[in-house]
Structure 1
């Protein structure tokens, strides 16, 4: 099948697969991008049309491929008997287990740590957190929409960094680390609940709570550039 006949999605997958062979040696670089074009038999101009920013867009596509695999596995799993915190932990674990090439992730972490790409990396982590919450059935439409994703972004990022250096059998040390991070988050949630149950503290925070209550999740009707949204009823 020629480039003109092959669907763009197939071309993208072929180019990404070809790039992964070189990323371990050259990182997400123009060298890896050029080599991938050669190996996949895709003209460089066609590849630029698919990935305008070259290797950076390939790295983004690799991250989103992992998100898609995680979502598919979550939707197929029966998590009904689990506590919600365990469902979240399972989702993060599925996301990491979807990765076949740890070195590609390590190289990606290096790429997105660069100041010019840090915003892109933060966006990708936010997208992962949003996929997890949305797939698990989150229906929040207020400030909790943001705090849930922000908190999970921190948990996911720290877990990935720990996982990159983990050589334990079956990455058990990483899963233990993940459980500790989620337990820390649950302590914060318990503290928030205790504040709301205490009449004195509830009155003290009445003003800030009112301000927070005015914050709404991004709506599909008004924004299309944010990962995750809800449709007002």
Structure 2
């Protein structure tokens, strides 16, 4: 989730910009959407067309705006001197630093924790991690496409939870926690590489690896945004 922009060049942007001032009090709710309509003068019919599922679609639009802001900042950042694990950490940090009010994210997590909304919340996090991997040049087209995003989704989710409760100066405790989580993942990758290099393990894993080798990344259609599978 991200900071509010104020260009308001579309009705959807105007509603979203208006909504964020109400979210800390009313959450991502129908009350917030109604207040945003009142603030902007946008008719209910248009609001319904823009956000068919009401507050849920409004919250998802806010999350996607955050992904777009992260990608914009990432494109402006020189990553050439950074190790790959540090590039991932920088992307996650940029994603969180784009948030102007943690209460907006906290309220979003409350919404997405509801059983009927949990799949959308998981899909939103997957979209964020896919955007990160794609922006960093990931070219995998097999089972690794999925495992990379699944692993980073776990890291991202745990870091967000830590960040929401972090009161350290400039969130330094969060960035240290992020580094530790990524280090843990890198250790797992090293173990996996060592296992693959073992002759005994290679024999035992021959069939599972052959099956995994048949798994392909989803094809992207021209113009698809990161995180969208089709």
The answer to whether the superposition gives a TM-score over 0.5 is yes
2:103 aligns with 103
The match for 1:206 is: 206
Q: Counterpart of 1:161?
A: 161
Contact (CA 8 Å) 2:89, 2:178: kept in 1 or not? yes
In 1, are the aligned partners of 2:130 and 2:226 still within 8 Å (CA)? no
Q: Output the CA distance in 1 between the equivalents of 2:46 and 2:219.
A: 35
CA spacing shift, 1:72–1:38, aligned 2, 3 Å: same
Residue in 2 that maps onto 1:37: 37
| Aligned counterpart, 1:74 | 74
Conserved in 2, the CA contact under 8 Å of 1:218 and 1:226?
no
1:229 Cα deviation after fit:
5.6
Deviation for aligned residue 1:228: 4.7
Question: What is the CA–CA distance in structure 1 between the aligned matches of 2:55 and 2:164, rounded to whole Å?
Answer: 21
Does the CA-based 8 Å contact 2:128-2:227 persist in structure 1? no
More relative contact order in 1 or in 2 (CA 8 Å, sep 6+)? 2
- Give distance in 1, aligned partners of 2:17 and 2:165: 24
**By how many angstroms is 1:55 displaced?**
1.1
The aligned runs of 1:1-233 (5 Å cut-off) are: 10-220=10-220, 227-228=227-228
Q: What TM-score, normalized to structure 2?
A: 0.92
Query: Once the 2 structures are TM-superposed, how far is the Cα of residue 207 of structure 1 from its aligned partner?
Result: 1.1
Secondary structure of the structure 1 residue equivalent to 2:116: helix
- TM-superposed CA distance for 1:9, in Å, is 5.7
Aligned mates of 2:76, 2:19 — CA distance in 1: 29
> Segments of 4+ in structure 1 off by > 2 A?
224-230
2:220 and 2:69 mapped to 1: Cα distance? 24
In the TM superposition, what is the alpha-carbon distance from 1:110 to its structure 2 partner? 0.3
Q: Displacement, 1:189?
A: 0.3
Contact 1:166 1:174 (8 Å CA) reproduced: yes
Tell me the CA shift for residue 16 of structure 1.
Answer: 0.5
TM-superposed deviation, 1:220:
2.8
Q: How many pairs align? A: 221
1:4 is aligned to: none
- Secondary structure class of the residue paired with 1:116: coil
TM-score under structure 1 length normalisation: 0.91
In the TM superposition, residue 226 of structure 1 has moved relative to its aligned partner by 9.1
Long gaps (5+) in structure 1:
1-7
Please report the RMSD computed on the Cα atoms of aligned residues, expressed in angstroms. 1.7
Shift of 1:72: 0.6
Gaps of 5+ in 2: 1-7
* 1:106-133 superposed Cα distances (whole Å, 9 cap, x missing partner): 0000000000000000000000000000
**Is the Cα contact below 8 Å between 1:134 and 1:228 reproduced in 2?**
no
